[in-house]
Amino acid sequence: MDFLPIFLNIRNKVCLVVGGGEVAARKAMLLLQAGAQVSVVAPELDSAFNAYVARGKINYCAECFQLEHLHNIMLVIAATNDRTINQQVSEAAQQRQIPVNVVDDPKLCTFIMPSIIDRSPLLIAVSSGGQSPVLARILRAQLEALIPVAYARVASIAGKFRQQVKQHFIHPEKRRLFWEKVLQGPFTEMVLAGKDKTAQDYLLQSLQHEKDESPQGEVYLVGAGPGNPDLLTFRAMRLMQQADVVVYDRLVSAAILDMVRRDATRIYAGKERNKHTLEQESINQLLVRLAQEGKRVLRLKGGDPFIFGRGGEEIETLASHHIPFQVVPGITAASGVAAYAGIPLTHRDYAQSCIFVTGHLKNKMIDLDWAHLARPNQTIVIYMGLLGLPVLCQQLIVHGLPSSTPAAIIQQGTTQKQKIVTGTLQTLPNLTAAVNLTPPTLIIVGEVVKLHQNLTWFEPTS
């Protein structure tokens, strides 16, 4: 370890910035954010400083750097574009045992500035020891994406109860276990869902029932998107890491399942056409049973759970059993697949509305409001329509759409197995029959399908 990472309390301490440029301004702002009194020494100031100087936040000294500027200074940052001055500041500061940072010049520094992920009071600092600040920044961006902004509130609420929890437990070990459980359980989820008050009540309740408490289970109903793991939401990813058990559908791709916590139990509840592995009713009951056992249950569904996903039914059962649950939206097949197929679902010139329907066949019929569908300037997206494709196309023509209306069927959209067949209402059924498509497939009907030719961008490798 070349440097010792520490978090310095500079509140109300005088810190000096030497230099008046943009970089100096950024450093000064950072010091202000940490509550310091900031003095700036420079012959001229960049306009970035204006507001702060005007509001009296910064004490500005319009001079060149001199040794006396270091008098009573707790920390100094040199950010001039003149290396001789920077060096002079560094040497003078070191003689006086004042911590000094020279921007982009590690040799002249006694401390270096990390990249910061600010979830105050939670702070994460990343440093490459001055070797590659860009790498540290890249890592920082990745962490930013990984750590929900609301962790700031999780930390402050936990802070509020710290003393109380400390008094409750005699053994530090038990206290640690309590916090681990609280912070990895419903408490954090409640704060992340914006229910701070409920979270605090829950925390206090857990504390009171600590001795005889059995863990409270919960269910996360999560949309996994149309198949490509890149299209998962951050929230889905996070819940996937903390579930004890995952109950997943056929549509959830292997690549996505791979990203679920390694030691979570996996239960397949896939529903293939005419071959229901688990009936809906038993899935509902399974979720209830697992949650009642105290498990954090991830109910992972393809696309969005509230669009042809029966998500509503599953949480109705949970609600009736008073089991806590939350719903995480996913990218539904219509928007994911359309995007990857280069078919905008609406377009000022071609379609002002878009309608999602299911083309599920029942007794060789599809029960849809055809007159409502067969309208001009409307895009129709049909889920579960592969088997019913001939009936669909025929009915749309019978109800008034021109047989030349463009139509497409897309297999396994957004994934490396994406395949698109385009034609018209007249030709699509035969064109589709000629190629062997593997479900899931999505049908898009409307003038917008014409755009595919020019707007296609995604090139699956296989």
C-beta of 245 vs 251, nearer to ligand SAH:
251
- What does the block give as tokens for 264? 């979570």
Residues found near ligand SAH in the complex (CB under 6 A): 226-227, 251, 301-304, 307-309, 332-333, 337, 383-384, 410, 412-414, 439-442
Dihedrals φ, ψ of 123, to 5°? -130, 135
Which C-beta is closer to ligand SAH: that of 378 or that of 412? Answer: 412
Report CA-CA distances (Å) from 393 to 18, 334, 419.
Answer: 73, 18, 20
Instruction: For the CB of residue 411, give the shortest distance to ligand SAH in the complex, in Å.
Output: 7
What DSSP character marks residue 154? H
Distance separating alpha carbons of residues 145 and 238, to the nearest angstrom: 11
Instruction: Please give the DSSP secondary-structure letter assigned to residue 450.
Output: G
Q: Is 401 left (phi over 0), alpha (psi -120 to 50) or beta?
A: beta
Residue 44 counted as an annotated binding residue: yes
Judged by beta carbon, residue 114 or residue 225, the one nearer ligand SAH is: 225
Q: Is 406 annotated as a binding residue?
A: no
Smaller CB separation from ligand SAH, 219 or 333? 333
Residue with tokens 């009642």: 292
Q: Of 158 and 409, which has the nearer Cβ to ligand SAH?
A: 409
Considering the complex, what minimum distance in angstroms separates the CB of residue 242 from ligand SAH?
23
Contact call for residues 18 and 81 (beta carbons, < 8 A): no
- Residue 217 annotated as binding site: no
Count of beta carbons in the 10 Å neighbourhood of residue 226: 30
Known catalytic membership, residue 263 = no
Minimum distance, C-beta of residue 356 to ligand SAH, in the bound complex (Å): 9
Q: Is-contact 113 101, C-beta < 8 A?
A: yes
User: How far apart, in Å, are the Cα atoms of 445 and each of 369, 404, 425?
Assistant: 15, 11, 8
Catalytic residue status for 249: yes
**With contact defined as beta carbons under 8 Å apart, do 98 and 76 qualify?**
yes
Choose between 112 and 389: whose C-beta lies nearer to ligand SAH.
389
Flag whether 302 is marked binding: yes
User: In whole angstroms, how close is the CB of 334 to ligand SAH at the nearest point?
Assistant: 7
Is 43 assigned to a binding site? yes
C-alpha distances out from residue 449 to 349, 373, 408, 424, Å: 12, 16, 7, 9
DSSP letter string, 374-407: S-TTEEEEEES-TTTHHHHHHHHHHTT--TT-EE
- The response to whether 85 counts as a known ligand-binding position is no
- The distance of closest approach from Cβ of residue 349 to ligand SAH in the complex, given in angstroms and rounded to an integer, is 26
Count of all residues that appear for the chain in the document: 462
Residue type, 228: N
Does 68 appear as a known binding residue? no
Closest residue to ligand SAH using C-beta atoms:
303
| Number of C-beta neighbours around residue 128 at 10 A | 17
Q: Could you write out the DSSP letters of every residue in 206-246?
A: HHHTTTTPPPPPEEEEEE-BTS-GGG--HHHHHHHHH-SEE
Task: Give the strand pairing for 37-41 and 58-61.
Answer: parallel
Q: Is 304 labelled as part of a ligand binding site?
A: yes
In the bound state with ligand SAH, the residue whose beta carbon lies nearer, of 20 and 309, is 309
Nearer to ligand SAH, 76 or 443 (CB): 443
Report the greatest alpha carbon distance in the chain: 92
Q: What are phi and psi of 324, to 5 degrees?
A: -65, 140
Task: Using DSSP, state whether 177 is helix, strand or coil.
Answer: helix
Q: Is 303 annotated as a binding residue?
A: yes
Interhelix angle 151-168/172-183, nearest 10 degrees: 150
Binding residue per annotation — 413? yes
Minimum distance from residue 419 beta carbon to ligand SAH (Å): 10
Residue from 13, 57, 181, 271 carrying the catalytic annotation: 271
CB of 422 to ligand SAH, least distance (A): 15
CA distance 376 to 116: 53
For the record, the structure tokens of 229 come out as 């793991």
**Minimal distance, residue 417 CB to ligand SAH, in Å:** 9
Residues flagged as binding site:
22-23, 43-44, 226, 302-304, 307, 332-333, 384, 413
Residues flagged as binding site for S-adenosyl-L-methionine:
226, 302-304, 307, 332-333, 384, 413
Active site residues: 249, 271
Residues flagged as binding site for NAD(+):
22-23, 43-44
